[in-house]
């Protein structure tokens, strides 16, 4: 058996994909093996394709799969590779606050107050209205943006590199192709596997216990991943202080105002610093909560979404055993 690879020399001419079904063209113009492990017959059919490649990017090497001496040895190998397949450890990015800034509302009053205490009190009241009372909504908006950009690969199944499911399914298809080639070689072409045996295209199970799953917002607020939004929102806001604590960050300024008869000192408030302080506290809580909890929540989510794939792997093993048992 031979292993088919396409090297980085590929110049995206697309000729090989036209000449054989064993190589497919991707949307970006690059090509990849449609079948990674080839039988001797398939490898021979590629001879002209390889010669025709202008940069020598199509490479055939000996497969790592050895020659099987018995049917049991081949079946054990299939059980080990498919039945024992371990889905890759999910990789996720730690929360980077610079990627998810909180919009700071502009709020500066006119010089409407006769003393600084009054300006500060009114400023605190306005701060509560425009931002502090909205802290839950603000935190959930940040979580939603994080989920949409960083968790998408776990929350939708897209046939593109980097998608958690697609990457694993491609690895499984390589194993299936390897097994199919090995069975054909071992049986001298007598084995009859299902036509779709080497295909692995399984929609993940998005619902939990039959519930629907709204993928349009990619687990909005991560609620479907361990009920993240409802369970951890309080923890995310642990860094937020009581309202009165923020009064010291309400800035004020004074100005001499001429009333037509005399100059009097009037005061205003500026909420820039207090709003920035609250934003930092919200981001502190979100960062700590995500870094502490997300790995466990992703794994709990995947334990559900990967159920159909694990069941499909078991069916592939049964199909392989049935086909091999009925032929040899």
User: Same domain, yes or no, for 129 and 176?
Assistant: yes
Largest CA distance in the chain: 111
Q: What is the tens place of the pLDDT at every residue in 161-200?
A: 899 999 999 999 989 988 998 888 888 888 889 999 999 9
| Cα distances (angstroms) measured from residue 45 to each of 21, 23, 191, 243 | 10, 12, 20, 74
More confident of the two residues 289 and 313: 313
Q: What is the tens place of the pLDDT at every residue in 78-135?
A: 999 998 999 999 988 888 999 999 999 989 999 999 999 999 999 999 999 999 999 9
pLDDT at position 134 is 94
Q: Which domain holds residue 34?
A: 1-64
CA dist 174 and 197 (Å) reads 11
CA dist 66 and 35 (Å) reads 18
User: Same domain, yes or no, for 298 and 162?
Assistant: yes
Query: Is pLDDT of 206 > 70?
Result: no
- Which of 239, 207, 237 is CA-nearest to residue 223? 207
User: Same domain, yes or no, for 43 and 166?
Assistant: no
φ and ψ of 225, to 5 deg: -100, 85
pLDDT at position 229 is 37
More confident of the two residues 301 and 129: 129
User: Same domain, yes or no, for 78 and 34?
Assistant: no
- Work out the mean pLDDT of the chain and round it to a whole number: 85
What CATH code is carried by the domain that includes residue 22?
3.30.70.20
| Cα distances (angstroms) measured from residue 307 to each of 45, 87, 152, 197, 258 | 38, 11, 19, 19, 75
Number of domains into which the chain is organized: 2
User: Same domain, yes or no, for 244 and 269?
Assistant: yes
Residues 6+ apart with CB under 8 A from 39: 1, 181, 184, 185
| Signed CA dihedral, 145, 149, 150, 154: sign only | positive
Angle between helices 135-150 and 272-305 (to 10 degrees): 50
Q: Are 152 and 221 in contact (CB under 8 A)?
A: no
Last residue of a domain, one of 64, 82, 113: 64
CA dist 169 and 205 (Å) reads 15
User: Same domain, yes or no, for 112 and 219?
Assistant: yes
Q: Are 310 and 202 in contact (CB under 8 A)?
A: no
pLDDT at position 93 is 81
Beta strands per DSSP E along the chain: 2-6, 23-25, 31-33, 37-38, 58-62, 251-258, 263-270
Q: Are 271 and 130 in contact (CB under 8 A)?
A: yes
Residues 6+ apart with CB under 8 A from 278: 127, 131, 132, 135, 240, 246
pLDDT at position 238 is 82
User: Same domain, yes or no, for 169 and 256?
Assistant: yes
- Provide the phi-psi class of 233: left if phi over 0, else alpha when psi is between -120 and 50, else beta: alpha
Q: What is the tens place of the pLDDT at every residue in 26-62?
A: 888 889 888 878 887 888 899 899 999 999 999 988 7
Q: What is the tens place of the pLDDT at every residue in 208-263?
A: 444 444 443 334 434 443 333 333 456 678 899 999 999 999 999 999 999 889 99
Query: Is pLDDT of 69 > 60?
Result: yes
CA dist 219 and 233 (Å) reads 15
pLDDT at position 220 is 40
| Signed CA dihedral, 166, 171, 175, 181: sign only | positive
User: Same domain, yes or no, for 135 and 265?
Assistant: yes
User: Same domain, yes or no, for 108 and 216?
Assistant: yes
Last residue of a domain, one of 19, 40, 64: 64
């Amino acid at each position: 058996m031979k292993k088919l690879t396409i090297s980085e020399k590929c110049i995206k001419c697309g000729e090989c994909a036209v000449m054989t079904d064993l190589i497919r063209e991707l949307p970006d113009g690059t090509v990849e093996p449609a079948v990674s492990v080839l039988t001797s017959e398939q490898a021979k059919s590629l001879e002209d394709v390889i010669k025709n490649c202008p940069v020598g990017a199509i490479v055939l090497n000996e497969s790592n799969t050895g020659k099987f001496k018995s049917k049991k040895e081949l079946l054990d190998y299939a059980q080990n590779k498919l039945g024992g397949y371990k889905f890759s450890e999910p990789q996720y990015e730690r929360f980077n606050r610079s990627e998810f800034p909180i919009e700071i509302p502009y709020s500066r009053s006119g010089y409407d107050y006769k003393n600084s205490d009054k300006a500060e009190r009114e400023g605190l009241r306005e701060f509560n209205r425009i931002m502090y009372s909205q802290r839950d909504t603000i935190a959930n908006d940040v979580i939603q943006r994080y989920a949409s950009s960083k968790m998408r690969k776990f929350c939708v199944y897209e046939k593109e590199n980097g998608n958690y499911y697609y990457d694993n399914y491609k690895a499984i298809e390589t194993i299936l192709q390897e097994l199919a080639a090995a069975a054909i070689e071992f049986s001298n072409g007598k084995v009859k596997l299902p036509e779709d045996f080497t295909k692995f295209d399984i929609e993940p199970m998005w619902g939990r216990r039959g519930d629907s799953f709204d993928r349009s917002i990619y687990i909005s607020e991560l609620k479907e991943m361990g009920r993240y939004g409802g369970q951890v929102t309080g923890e995310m806001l642990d860094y937020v202080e009581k309202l009165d604590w923020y009064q010291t960050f309400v800035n004020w300024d004074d100005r001499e105002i001429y009333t037509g008869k005399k100059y009097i000192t009037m005061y205003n408030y500026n909420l820039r610093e207090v709003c920035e302080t609250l934003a930092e506290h919200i981001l502190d809580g979100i960062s700590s909560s995500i870094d502490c909890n997300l790995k466990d929540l992703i794994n709990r989510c995947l334990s559900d979404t990967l159920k159909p794939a694990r069941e499909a792997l078991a069916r592939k093993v049964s199909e392989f055993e049935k086909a091999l048992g009925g032929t040899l």
